A and B are shown apart, each in its own frame.
Chain A
Amino acid sequence: QQQVKQSPQSLIVQKGGIPIINCAYENTAFDYFPWYQQFPGKGPALLIAIRPDVSEKKEGRFTISFNKSAKQFSLHIMDSQPGDSATYFCAARPSNTGKLIFGQGTTLQVKP
């Protein structure tokens, strides 16, 4: 049973736009929420991560917003570039485990 739901499935923005990818989870016993970026033919790579005691985290042009009461978190990419074109996955980790439960993925295209 999928416990992390990600939307949209695909997204197209112009260069400089701010794509937003959303994830919602169903289980409150998660203690870590990472986002992974994947380029074609490559394995996913950690982009940014947040813990539930923080409402927002920024790293460069990437920001995670976390709403614990709504059980939702989202990724914002500021000043998006064509090089950001990739598939993005959110994930959640059940507390006290090493497992990750992934969302379905979002394919982002940033047009020049």
Chain B
Amino acid sequence: DAGITQSPRHKVTETGTPVTLRCHQTENHRYMYWYRQDPGHGLRLIHYSYGVKDTDKGEVSDGYSVSRSKTEDFLLTLESATSSQTSVYFCAISRGGPGDTQYFGPGTRLTVL
């Protein structure tokens, strides 16, 4: 357990609505990541952060935005959810630098109808 919580754990929403997922860590680590997991694709990086207000895009960032105003919280926002964003979303942290092992949270299952 790397002190990572994700909320909500499950969410069902409708196409076109905004959705925000929260990742909270208790250990003040600098590096945080958002992934999505889909069958046949493994995990794919959406966005990552290397500090407060410092974020960058991953390989599947279209349709997603992130914010990090505090070290402990990394928010993922779907501005207008689409059915293709139905997925399981995982947050991860690196305890040391960016090259250190990534530890994952429990995930959020999002269904967009």
Contacts and interface: CB of A to CB of B under 8 A. Distances in A.
A31 B98 CA distance: 13
Interface string B16-36: 000000000000000101000
A29 interface: no
Contact of A100 (B4, B40, B102): B102
A25 interface: no
* Chain B, interface residues (CB within 8 Å), range: 20 to 34
A61 interface: no
Contacts of B45: 99-101
B113 interface: no
Nearest to B40: A104
Interface in B54-113: 58-59, 90, 92, 94, 97-107
A100 B98 CA distance: 10
A54 B40 CA distance: 29
A43 B42 contact: no
A46 B103 contact: yes
A2 B106 CA distance: 25
Contact of A105 (B33, B42, B59, B94): B42
Interface string A3-15: 0101001000000
Contacts of B106: 41-43
A96 B97 CA distance: 10
A31 B99 CA distance: 9
B90 A89 contact: no
Nearest to A6: B42
Contacts of B105: 43
Given A43-B104, A97-B98, A102 B31 contact: no
Contacts of B107: 41-43
B41 to A, nearest CB: 6
Contact of A99 (B48, B90, B97): B48
A102 B43 CA distance: 6
A9 B41 CA distance: 11
Nearest 8 interchain pairs by C-beta: A98-B98, A43-B104, A102-B42, A102-B43, A104-B42, A44-B104, A105-B42, A46-B101
